Structures are given as structure tokens and as C-alpha cells.
Amino acid sequence: MDILQTEFSFTLPKGYVDGTGTLHKQGTMRLATAADEIMPLRDSRVQQNPAYLSVILLSRVVVSLGGLSMITPRVIEELYTADFAYLQEMYNRINQNGSNTLHTKCPKCEQPFEIELETLGE
């Protein structure tokens, strides 16, 4: 029987710098639920600016980032754009594919293989 992986580790390309100057790069993202995608639609910030949906979604599914005790929309807002884009791509990958792997093939021999993208953010 297969076990469903629901949490995936990541390393942000740049990292989040908190108010004390501490850099946070390692984190974990979980698979999204239907509620994660529906509940933010009721948020007034999303109703005023639909682009804000990604901020709310990521704040719900990023379960850890370095030593931070809580991942809030404010934390996601303060990410560098490279980190924000990295997390958006990862969200799409794990929720559409069920894994954080990329299917590719060797450019020389054409042999197909998978790459685990857990630490490619660095």
C-alpha cells in the first residue's frame, strides 16, 4: 500500500529575513485542502485584489520556515520575489503532481529520470 506524502521540505533561494535580521531558508509546505483554496475567497483583501489569493494560500500551506513560530500573510508578503515565485511553483507542483519531482531526461543519452526539487532553491 502506498503512503501519501503530505508535507514537502524546501530551501528558499534567498530566504526570509525577520525583524531581528535572522535569515530563514529551510521550510516545509503541506498539500492544500479544498478549504485552503475556498476560504481565502471570503477574505476582503482577496476580494479587493485577486492577486492576493496566492499570499493567503501560501500562508496557509507553508507550515514551517526556519525558526518562525507562525507563517502569516505578512511573512509571505515580505518574501523576496524569487522566494515567492519558488513557493508558488512548488505549490503547483505538489498539488498537481502529488510530489516535488520534475520529470526530465539526460540531454546526452536521452535517458528519462526524475529530480527531487527539495533543495534546488539554493
Q: What does the DSSP assignment read for 7-23?
A: EEEEEEEEEEE-TTS-E
Q: What average pLDDT does the segment 32-48 reach? A: 94
pLDDT at 42 over 60: yes
Please report how many Cα atoms fall inside a 13 Å half-sphere around the Cα of residue 2, on the Cβ side. Answer: 4
Question: Per residue in 57-90, pLDDT tens?
Answer: 999 999 999 999 999 999 999 999 999 999 999 9
Domain ranges of the chain: 7-116
pTM of the model: 0.78
Q: What percent of the chain has pLDDT over 90?
A: 72
Q: What average pLDDT does the segment 34-60 reach? A: 95
Q: What average pLDDT does the segment 9-37 reach? A: 96
Question: Per residue in 90-112, pLDDT tens?
Answer: 999 999 876 565 656 778 887 77
pLDDT value for 121: 44
Residue 100, φ and ψ in degrees, nearest 5: -110, 45
